[in-house]
Amino acid sequence: MKKLDKIQQLMVITAEECGELTQVTSKILRKAKINDEWKQKLIEEAGDVYCMLDLIVEHTDIGWKELEDRAIVKKKKLEKWSNLID
């Protein structure tokens, strides 16, 4: 079996971690609350995704500034379509 190169590993693991975060957020939605157990699971999975973002910055030519700039764009969109941003 052929070994994956670093970028392939990075993309596969990032996708897997995003999927795990999606699963936890979906389960929290079904329960309609975040108790201590689900808060810990959310921290774990969000932290894993954060780690993968850090590794993307480390192993690609994408920088934190670019991610921060994109986050600003997303927040502006959310101001229009969501009540998350005041």
Q: Which two tokens stand for residue 11?
A: 């993309």
Query: Would you state the pLDDT for residue 5?
Result: 94
Domain ranges, ordered by start, for the chain: 6-81
Lowest mean pLDDT among 3-7, 43-47, 49-53, 78-82: 3-7
Q: Contact at 8 Å (CB) between 14 and 52?
A: yes
Measured CA to CA, the distance from residue 67 to residue 71 in angstroms comes to 6
Q: pTM here? A: 0.89
71 in Cβ contact with 39 (< 8 Å): no
User: What pLDDT is recorded for position 1?
Assistant: 64
d(CA 4, CA 33): 39
The highest-level CATH class for domain 6-81 is mainly alpha
Contact yes or no for 21/45 (Cβ under 8 A)? yes
